[in-house]
């Protein structure tokens, strides 16, 4: 009996020691949980009872004493009622599912309401503890951690990722990332579109290119070139900056891309990524080519203008020399007939000379100096934007090139304009000399017999000589020669000079901005008279101008001599005719009336 009592005392002592150890362990765990701000809880599915430590509530700004620890089925009070409405259904379902099938570790994330009205993100982890006595006291033991800061950081990171992805997907440049084997990891929308247009393969989305190298995406020289560049960067670590690469799309159309590829290093200093950016410079390259072609064309035209200027100078010298020789010969021999023929020849030469001047004016008008000026101004005004797109050095080079072209073209145009002005002065001088000589010869006209001339034929000859100018300027010439007799005795050359002069005046008076530019010639005859009427829808003139039209030296032209209409009137009157010009006012055209006596 004594032995049994001693054994019982030893057993009781041992039990007390174990209980003390257990209580100490529990105390340490509770201290650990409290100091680590870890909420602890235990839930008993059989009774629906949930037991929580003080930290469980304090992390929510609440007091454990406000919640009963005796009521059964208190899960709702201690947990469900504190859940965020958006998380309630998912969190409860996950909790119930785990209780029904407690395999592995329970883990769930949800928001719980703090006493101040804010919401905290909680990470709940637990494990299933089975009752060894089979008394249906199985429980779920778990912890709560406040992960609000981590969750907010994750949400901020996710938002930043979405913003960054939205940005790169909406940029007009190709942006992509490749792994160390040259396989695509990221490809923005522009990159996907570029691959689809140039690979000959149908590419619908980013997923169609992820995991593929350039060799797989471009089964041609483009793919080989891109893959070799990638491997060279991985091997050497040397980046590629603004390399201009040529592509041909599936339609055979040529494109250019300015490519930059940069190696990305991991924490161990190894290259594990390649970041690539491609800027489409097709439009810029085409403009460069257009500018080059324009410069080439300008040089050709400049050379042509220089050659024509030399031809004009030579022609001028030849005309002056011929005039001097012929006039000296006529004066020396006292043969006015020869002098008249010389003046005729010089007049014809001046017509050819005028054709050359017309050709120069046409070429000058076709000059693209204004376009070059506008291009230069555009490049200067947009220099900062162009610098951002293609680089400051290239932008500066474009401006310098355009300024050089503008300077060269301006110099050439000034030289041609100076030559034309000089020749116009010479023509004016020659015309004055011719008029003087004509006046001198006119006093001896009685000595010469006039020959029959056909006014209708003279009109046709004038039309032929002016056809190129009329056609070029889009003028509608209407000639109406009614049946009749149009032969008189007279000087064919002088009469032709009169009609040419009047037709040229009509051409110069037309406003070439008008849709319809008209000149009409009406020729009719009676038994006694021949009537010629020439009308146009040009600028016209006022009454004061009409009074002075036939005054010697009066002109309305910047480069006129005031001798044209004066001489015309003299020639017509010497043929026993009359010349009148009238207008209804500025902007209402003009009409010229010539009458010959049969």
pLDDT tens by residue, 318-338: 888 777 666 655 555 554 555
Residue 202 pLDDT class (50, 70, 90 cuts)? confident
Q: pLDDT band at 26, cuts 50/70/90?
A: very low
Phi, psi of 113 (to 5 degrees): -85, 125
Neighbours of 311 (CB within 10 A): 13
pLDDT digits 0-9 by tens, 387-441: 777 777 776 877 788 787 777 777 777 776 666 665 655 565 455 556 545 554 5
Mean pLDDT within 505-509 = 89
Residues above pLDDT 90, as percent of the chain: 32
Start-to-end Cα distance in the chain: 180
Segment of 1-5, 293-297, 400-404 carrying the highest mean pLDDT = 293-297
pTM, two decimal places: 0.39
User: Distance between CA atoms of 100 and 427, rounded to whole angstroms?
Assistant: 115
Phi, psi of 259 (to 5 degrees): -105, 135
What's the pLDDT tens digit per position in 490-506? Answer: 998 889 989 999 999 89
Predicted pLDDT of residue 123: 96
The residue with greater pLDDT, 514 or 595, is: 595
Q: Which residues pair with 145 in a beta bridge?
A: 123
CB 276 within 8 A of CB 289: no
Q: Are 226 and 191 contacting, i.e. CB atoms less than 8 angstroms apart?
A: no
> For position 443, what pLDDT does the model report?
47
Examine the pLDDT at 32 and tell me if it is beyond 80: no
Q: Is the pLDDT of residue 20 over 60?
A: no
Task: Give 209-238 pLDDT, tens digit per residue.
Answer: 999 998 888 878 888 899 999 999 999 999
Nearest C-alpha neighbor of 392 from the set 403, 384, 402: 384
pLDDT at 561: 65
pLDDT, residue 275, reads 92
- What pLDDT was estimated at residue 365? 54
Are residues 189 and 169 in contact, defined by beta-carbon separation less than 8 angstroms?
yes
Q: What is the pLDDT of residue 297?
A: 87
Mean of all residue pLDDT scores within the chain: 81
Q: Is the pLDDT of residue 56 over 90?
A: yes
Asked if 147 contacts 121 with a C-beta cutoff of 8 angstroms, the reply is yes
- When pLDDT is averaged across residues 128-156 and rounded to a whole number, the result is 84
Per-residue pLDDT, 286: 87
The pLDDT value recorded for residue 273 is 93
Average pLDDT over residues 517-532: 92
Q: Which residues pair with 42 in a beta bridge?
A: 51, 141
The confidence score (pLDDT) of residue 17 equals: 60
Instruction: Kindly tell me if the per-residue pLDDT of 25 is higher than 60.
Output: no
Contact in structure between 509 and 540 (CB atoms under 8 Å): yes
- 17 vs 27: which has the higher pLDDT: 17
> 263 with 257: CB under 8 angstroms?
no
Are the beta carbons of 302 and 408 closer than 8 angstroms? yes
With 90 as the cut, is the pLDDT of residue 40 above it? yes
Q: Which of 129-143, 269-283, 306-320 is least confident?
A: 129-143
Lowest mean pLDDT segment, chosen from 348-357, 463-472, 496-505, 556-565: 348-357
Note the pLDDT of residue 350.
61
**pLDDT of 193:** 86
Strand (E) or helix (H) holding 262: strand 254-265
Kindly report, residue by residue over 104-138, the tens digit of the pLDDT.
Answer: 999 999 999 999 999 999 999 999 988 665 555 68
In this predicted structure, the answer to whether residue 256 has a pLDDT above a threshold of 70 is yes
Instruction: State residue 382 phi and psi, 5-degree precision.
Output: -105, 15
What percent of the chain shows pLDDT beyond 70? 76
Asked if the model's pLDDT at residue 315 lies above 90, the reply is no
- For position 220, what pLDDT does the model report? 80
Give CA–CA dist 269/594, Å, rounded. Answer: 100
- What DSSP letter does each residue of 194-229 carry, written as one string? HHHHHHSS---SGGGTTT--HHHH--SHHHHHHHHH
Span 432-465, pLDDT tens digits: 556 545 554 554 444 446 789 999 999 998 888 8
- The reported pLDDT for the residue numbered 550 is 83
Is residue 503 within 8 Å of 464, Cβ to Cβ?
Answer: no
- How many CA atoms does the CB half-sphere of 333 hold within 13 Å? 11
Give me the count of residues in the chain: 598
Indicate the angle between helix axes 492-509 and 336-365, nearest 10 degrees: 20
- According to the model, what pLDDT value does residue 430 have? 58
pLDDT digits (tens, 9 = 90+) for 565-586: 888 988 999 888 999 999 999 9
Comparison of pLDDT for 365 and 204, the residue scoring more: 204
Question: Alpha-carbon distance 465 to 482, whole Å?
Answer: 22
């Amino acid at each position: 009996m004594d032995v049994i009592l001693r054994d019982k005392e030893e057993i009781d002592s041992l039990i007390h020691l174990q209980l003390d150890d257990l209580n100490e362990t529990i105390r340490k765990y509770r201290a650990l949980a409290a100091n680590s701000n870890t909420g602890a809880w235990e839930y008993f599915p059989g009774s629906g009872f949930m037991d929580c430590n003080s930290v469980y509530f304090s992390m929510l700004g609440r007091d454990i004493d406000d919640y009963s620890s005796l009521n059964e089925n208190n899960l709702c009070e201690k947990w469900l009622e504190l859940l965020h409405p958006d998380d309630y259904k998912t969190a409860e379902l996950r909790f119930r599912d785990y209780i029904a099938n407690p395999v592995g570790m329970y883990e769930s994330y949800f928001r719980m309401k703090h006493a101040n009205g804010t919401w905290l993100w909680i990470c709940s982890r637990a494990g299933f503890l089975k009752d060894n006595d089979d008394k249906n006291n199985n429980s779920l033991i778990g912890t709560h951690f406040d992960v609000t800061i981590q969750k907010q950081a994750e949400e901020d990171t996710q938002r930043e990722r979405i913003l960054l992805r939205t940005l790169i997907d909406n940029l007009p440049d190709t942006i992509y990332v490749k792994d160390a084997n040259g396989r695509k990891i990221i490809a923005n929308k522009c990159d996907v579109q570029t691959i689809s247009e140039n690979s000959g393969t149908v590419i619908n989305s980013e997923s169609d290119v992820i995991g593929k190298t350039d060799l797989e995406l471009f089964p041609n020289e483009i793919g080989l070139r891109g893959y070799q560049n990638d491997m060279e960067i991985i091997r050497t670590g040397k980046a590629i900056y603004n390399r201009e690469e040529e592509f041909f799309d599936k339609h055979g159309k040529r494109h250019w891309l300015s490519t930059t590829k940069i190696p990305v290093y991991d924490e161990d200093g190894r290259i594990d990524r390649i970041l690539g950016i491609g800027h489409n410079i097709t439009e810029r390259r085409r403009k460069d080519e257009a500018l080059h072609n324009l410069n080439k064309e300008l040089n050709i035209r400049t050379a042509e203008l220089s050659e024509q200027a030399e031809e004009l100078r030579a022609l001028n010298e030849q005309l002056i020399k011929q005039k001097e020789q012929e006039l000296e010969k006529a004066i020396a021999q006292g043969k006015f007939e020869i002098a008249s023929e010389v003046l005729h020849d010089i007049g014809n030469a001046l017509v050819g000379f005028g054709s050359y001047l017309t050709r120069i004016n046409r070429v000058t008008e076709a000059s693209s100096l204004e376009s070059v000026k506008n291009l230069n101004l555009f490049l200067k005004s947009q220099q900062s934007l162009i610098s951002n797109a293609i680089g400051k050095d290239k932008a500066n080079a474009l401006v310098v090139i355009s300024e050089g072209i503008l300077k060269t073209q301006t110099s050439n145009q000034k030289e041609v304009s100076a030559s034309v002005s000089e020749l116009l002065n010479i023509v004016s001088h020659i015309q004055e000399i011719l008029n003087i000589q004509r006046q001198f010869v006119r006093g001896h006209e009685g000595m010469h017999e006039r020959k029959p001339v056909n006014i209708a034929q003279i009109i046709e000859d004038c039309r032929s000589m002016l056809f190129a100018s009329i056609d070029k300027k889009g003028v509608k010439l209407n000639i109406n020669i009614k049946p009749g007799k149009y032969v008189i005795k007279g000087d064919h050359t002088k009469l032709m000079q009169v009609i040419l002069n009047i037709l040229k005046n009509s051409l110069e008076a037309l406003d070439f901005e008008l849709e319809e530019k008209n000149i009409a010639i009406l020729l009719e005859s009676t038994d006694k008279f021949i009537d010629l009427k020439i009308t146009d829808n040009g600028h016209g003139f006022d009454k004061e101008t009409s009074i002075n039209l036939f005054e010697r030296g009066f002109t309305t032209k910047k480069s006129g001599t005031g001798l044209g209409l004066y001489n015309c009137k003299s020639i017509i009157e010497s043929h026993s005719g009359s010349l009148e010009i009238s207008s209804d006012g500025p902007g209402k055209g003009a009409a010229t009336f010539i009458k010959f006596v049969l």
